[in-house]
Amino acid sequence: MKKILIANRGEIACRVIRTARKMGIATVAVYSEADSRSLHVRMADEAYPIGPSPSNQSYLVTDRILEAIDKSGADAVHPGYGFLSENAAFCKTLQERGVTFIGPGVQAINAMGDKIASKELAKKAGVNVIPGSNEVIRDKAHAVEVARLVGYPVMIKASAGGGGKGMRVARDDAEAAEGFELASNEGRSFFKDDRVFIEKFIVNPRHIEIQVLADSHGNTLYLQERECSIQRRNQKVIEEAPSSFVTPEMRKAMGEQAVQLAKACGYTSAGTVEFVVGADRSFYFLEMNTRLQVEHPITEMITGIDLVEQMIRVARGEALSFTQEQVGINGWAMESRIYAEDPYRGNLPSVGRLVYYRPPEVNRYVRVDTGVFEGGEVSIFYDPMVAKLITWGEDREAARINMCAALDNFMIRGPAHNIDFLNAILKHPRFVSGNISTQFIAQEYPDGFSGVPLDDKERKLFAAAAACLQQGYNALLKVIPEKQDLVVTVDKSDVALSVQRRQGITIVNFQDGEEMELADSYSPGVSIATFHDGTSYHTFQFKRLVEGFHLNKGGVRAVAVVRLPRHNQLAHFMPEKEALDTNRKILSPMPGLVLRIQVAEGDKVEAGASLLVLEAMKMENIIRAAANGTIKKIYVDSGDTVETDAPLIEME
């Protein structure tokens, strides 16, 4: 194996290139028009264009990939995840051309790629399966009929779906009908297969998966488990390995069933068997992903095994060099998926130029897998993932603390991102205790995320940090008093304090008599500052405002206005602007493609009614009416591409 073509993009393409380079193997990148300046193109030894920006005109077009293979002379292909990674026809074509597919064989991909067939195979292999119906759902009426037989709540799933696409939970007939339509549409759009089936939805479950690895010499191992229960809309957000819920006996049972299934379908390479787990520790087969998983780094962190390297070695015909007994668990690892999406606007996708992109320092405790760079673009055409942040610790709490610190030090400017939300989850008491499920986000943030509220202790810390920053900027421009009284308004609450510098330390005295000593580490012009209060480090990201700062720390976003006491008194007489009423004119919450308009001008609608469907970053999003009214004007047509805040519909 001399040269590997990576039939993918973004962070996973960069990830494969790193291991191939370590093994002395040349790499070839492919890219769409949108990705011509991407990091994976820069990193590879060679790169070839494969078509327009939409993935169904580039990365999903087999002929374009084959042309790049011919031009480059690549003798192997790594598919990454998504796109063609589980496409049996692509795998077969490569085999016929004498090109090695770094992944499982055609038989295994076919067997596990069809979720209906895979459940039957799992049953025969002695694997626990979820109750449900394996018949293909014909239409909305049939979906309602089968859902009633299985019993609500149910999960409607595209047979070829994956990665959270083509999956909808239904709790009544209306949701079953709508879920069928959405799941089948996404299956058709992203996997060219609109077949769906229905199974029982396990209430408040955990999502736990087993990493398997098999060679062509009959060796099949499991590399422990990953907990992937923190999900939003069936898309994983935070993962960890191992799981705090899994006992040694349960780990062995799940691992052995995963191995049984892998052997039953003749599996080789790395793969993942996913299970849904009940509160009583009962577990049921969900699906098998016949590819590398997004969350594979946490398994690498606790086992010390490079999964991409093992995939390459297995594809070269080598036998695994270790046994099941040698696969241990060293410490704990967590992964946070950093997405270009706005958690303050319902986690809607965001696009644009990465004006500022500075991940935290990488060391033995912190790893960053990314496919972007400062100045690059986050495109509308692909998944909104910006990076994967992985941390390691001796135990779960150490890994969690390291993750929180790393998130505070992850700087992104340009597109909106979900770092505040990730930090909030990691610091939530339920997450800290390990009492989580796939319903965690829905249960704890039923009305969406609006930031972490400040308590009195944190309000003082934010006020002190803002005062220190203001003093630092003031000192650059003029001579400031040795001691100065200030009022810091943190989210409309006044904190009176005085500040003075003493031997490189800022002494902050609050009106109630409390004193705080802060050693700071920051430079004016840099948008991150770390303060030490004698026991702990506190890292703030900030933007300078006219009279203070916009501060971020630990999932808390706050405006801290710094004024002299007299100026603060006068400021309270200033009138506040009235909020804009968005009920009448509905604006696009994200950039996207208008797929379907479901109302007409003159229609009367009720609050919550579906108005149109907008596709953005591979997901269909329903835009609903915020209030009762009549459709006055429709500004868009099906097929239109719209930007964020573009007018869609006006109501009266």
Examine the residue annotation and report whether 652 is marked as an active-site residue of this protein.
no
Burial zone of 422 (CB within 10 Å; 0-12 exposed, 13-18 middle, 19+ buried): buried
Cα–Cα distance measured from residue 165 to residue 480, given in angstroms and rounded to the nearest whole number: 58
Rounded Cα–Cα distance for residues 165 and 487 (Å): 50
Side-chain-side CA neighbours of 526 within 13 Å: the count stands at 10
* Token output for 221: 């191992």
- Residue 90, judged by CB atoms within 10 A of its CB (0-12, 13-18, 19+), counts as buried
Pairing relationship of beta strands 269-277 and 647-651 according to DSSP bridges: unpaired
Active-site option among 287, 300, 615, 620: 287
CB count in 10 Å sphere of residue 481: 11
For tokens 């940090």, name the residue.
Answer: 465
Q: Is there a cis peptide before residue 242, judged by omega within 30 degrees of 0?
A: yes
Neighbours of 11 (CB within 10 A): 22
- How does strand 100-101 pair with strand 165-170? unpaired
Give the C-alpha distances (Å, rounded to integers) separating 65 from 7, 50, 189, 303, 475.
7, 7, 20, 34, 59
Tokens of 236: 């994983």
CA–CA distances in Å: residue 297 to residues 293, 374, 601: 9, 23, 51
Tokens of 621: 């999003």
| Active site (catalytic) residues | 287
